[in-house]
Amino acid sequence: MVEQPLEKIKRIEEQFVEKIADNMQTYGVTATVGRVLGIIYMNRKPMTLDNLSEETGMSKTRMSQVVREMVDFNIAEKVFEKGVRKDLYSVEQDYYQTFISLFTSNWRKAIQKNKIFEKKMAAELQALLETEALDKDLEQKIHILLKETKEWHDYYQWLAELVEFFDSGEIFNHVPKR
Amino acid sequence: MVEQPLEKIKRIEEQFVEKIADNMQTYGVTATVGRVLGIIYMNRKPMTLDNLSEETGMSKTRMSQVVREMVDFNIAEKVFEKGVRKDLYSVEQDYYQTFISLFTSNWRKAIQKNKIFEKKMAAELQALLETEALDKDLEQKIHILLKETKEWHDYYQWLAELVEFFDSGEIFNHVPKR
DNA sequence: AAATTTGTAAAATAAAAAGTTTATAAATTG
DNA sequence: CAATTTATAAACTTTTTATTTTACAAATTT
């Protein structure tokens, strides 16, 4: 029995979706997030949790979790359509913007956590330097760690600027869209 | 019992290492890779698998696996020291370079896989278009997917250029090191 | 207001990833 | 060249993460 063209097209679409899912690890999210992204993308129209559950063969609860994650990452949004009671979700259609959303979400999270850490370390080291009677060797060690903290801070500052460089679209002035 | 300064310094160093480990997920590698990176970094001198096993409390086999991964990612290298029989590993000391190495390794891998995929899809679609007797609607669908493949290709082309932009250091001309 | 639908916590289970143990080959030493 | 050390594959175990099931509250319909 020869495969019908329509079947074949469907299979090709599925392969696209699977490839997106497969790549998603690199973007910092799970394959399932990628799969759902791909499914809604290929569908060209917003979808409900039930639709997604149907398409993926996963539970509706899981779809709820995945979709929430996607909204957090700014790659999906809830849309309203009059007469439709269920929640509808659409996804970012632009590849470049999807890259940027995931890149910036991930790094912003990391940068945020580091700000807190940085401050704590600098304070602990400063306190240690001031309160105790230290021999030269120990004092030296503390100064090295303080310098390390400074370098760390500068690097995370750079990362923050890098995130801005992407988020603002400035990157496209230097690596132009194709 | 009051904590001795030396103990405290050691504890602070450990906190640095733990923070590196913690962040590493964002860089696309496991926490253990981050931990080992941090330990060698803080040590300022190359270390052996036995050293690392000792420091992490993990098996030597695991250290072997981790170190290999790090070498693959270009963030560690085997170094020779005369008179030392065991393998010695040193790590990249520059934060910026470490970022770039991990960023480029991860994306290059993804880009590579996509090149193969892309070609396959384009060929399948082209074949489908040529061999079968298709109605207008189906033909339309295929053309849409071919366009999709083209956009996909362009986007991955852009990613490849982005990787180059980082790897060449060009990025620092626009987001300067701090 | 009773019955149904919808979305999502919380707890339980399944699947995947990380890590260890055992075994072995290659290199080194006495 | 036998004995020891080193690194790592292969098989197994543990831990973590992903997913499902159960349960329930809020919204909607009848």
User: At which residue do the structure tokens 């400063």 appear?
Assistant: A126
A116 CA to chain B: closest CA distance, Å?
Answer: 11
Dihedral of the alpha carbons of A15, A17, A23, A24, in degrees to the nearest 10: -160
> What pLDDT, on the 0 to 100 scale, is given for residue A69?
97
In Å, what is the separation between the CA of B70 and the C1' of C30? 35
Task: Inform me whether the pLDDT recorded for A62 exceeds 80.
Answer: yes
- Compute CA B167 distance to the chain's CA centroid, rounded to the nearest angstrom: 13
Report whether A56 contacts A35 (CB < 8 A).
Answer: yes
Detail the DSSP E strand segments found in A31-122.
76-79, 88-91
> What pLDDT, on the 0 to 100 scale, is given for residue B130?
85
Report whether B14 contacts B57 (CB < 8 A).
Answer: no
- Compute CA A156 distance to the chain's CA centroid, rounded to the nearest angstrom: 18
Task: Identify the band that residue B101 occupies on the pLDDT scale cut at 50, 70 and 90.
Answer: very high
Task: Inform me whether the pLDDT recorded for A169 exceeds 60.
Answer: yes
In Å, what is the separation between the CA of A52 and the C1' of C10? 23
Average pLDDT over residues A99-125: 95
Closest to A26 (Cβ–Cβ): which among B107, B117, B175?
A: B107
For A71-90, the pLDDT digits (tens) are 999 999 999 988 888 999 99
B27 CA to chain A: closest CA distance, Å?
Answer: 9
Report whether A92 contacts A40 (CB < 8 A).
Answer: no
Using the beta-carbon criterion (under 8 Å), do A152 and B95 form an inter-chain contact?
yes
**Better-scored residue on pLDDT, B134 or B37:** B37
Q: How many whole angstroms separate alpha carbon B161 and alpha carbon A57?
A: 37
Q: Which amino acid is at B152?
A: W
Task: Inform me whether the pLDDT recorded for A6 exceeds 70.
Answer: yes
For B66-77, the pLDDT digits (tens) are 999 999 999 999
**Better-scored residue on pLDDT, A1 or A39:** A39
Tell me the backbone φ, ψ of residue B91, rounded to 5 degrees. -120, 160
Footprint of strand D on the protein (CB under 7 A): A 30-32, 57-59, 61-62, 65-66, 85; B 48-50, 60-61, 64, 67-68, 85-87
> What pLDDT, on the 0 to 100 scale, is given for residue A132?
66
> What pLDDT, on the 0 to 100 scale, is given for residue B94?
96
Task: Identify the band that residue B2 occupies on the pLDDT scale cut at 50, 70 and 90.
Answer: low
A125: chain B residues, CB-CB within 8 Å: 12
A9: chain B residues, CB-CB within 8 Å: 128, 138, 141-142, 145
Task: Inform me whether the pLDDT recorded for A2 exceeds 70.
Answer: no
Sorted by sequence, the CB contacts under 8 Å of residue B27 that are 6+ apart come out as: B34, B98, B99, B102, B103
Task: Identify the band that residue B3 occupies on the pLDDT scale cut at 50, 70 and 90.
Answer: low
Using the beta-carbon criterion (under 8 Å), do B165 and A142 form an inter-chain contact?
no
Q: For C22, which residue's CA is nearest its C1'?
A: B61
Q: How many whole angstroms separate alpha carbon A54 and alpha carbon A42?
A: 15
Q: How many whole angstroms separate alpha carbon B100 and alpha carbon B162?
A: 11
CB pairs under 8 A between A and B: 113
Which of B20, B52, B91 shows the shortest CA–CA distance to A121?
Answer: B20
pTM: 0.93
Q: How many whole angstroms separate alpha carbon A35 and alpha carbon B54?
A: 41
Which chain A residue is nearest to residue B133, measuring alpha carbons? Answer: A5
> What pLDDT, on the 0 to 100 scale, is given for residue B83?
85
Report whether B92 contacts B101 (CB < 8 A).
Answer: yes
Q: How many whole angstroms separate alpha carbon A154 and alpha carbon A88?
A: 43
In Å, what is the separation between the CA of B148 and the C1' of D20? 35
Q: How many whole angstroms separate alpha carbon B150 and alpha carbon B165?
A: 22
Average pLDDT over residues A18-39: 96
> What pLDDT, on the 0 to 100 scale, is given for residue B129?
87
For A119-146, the pLDDT digits (tens) are 999 999 999 888 767 788 888 999 999 9
Task: Identify the band that residue A109 occupies on the pLDDT scale cut at 50, 70 and 90.
Answer: very high
| % residues pLDDT > 70 (chain A) | 98
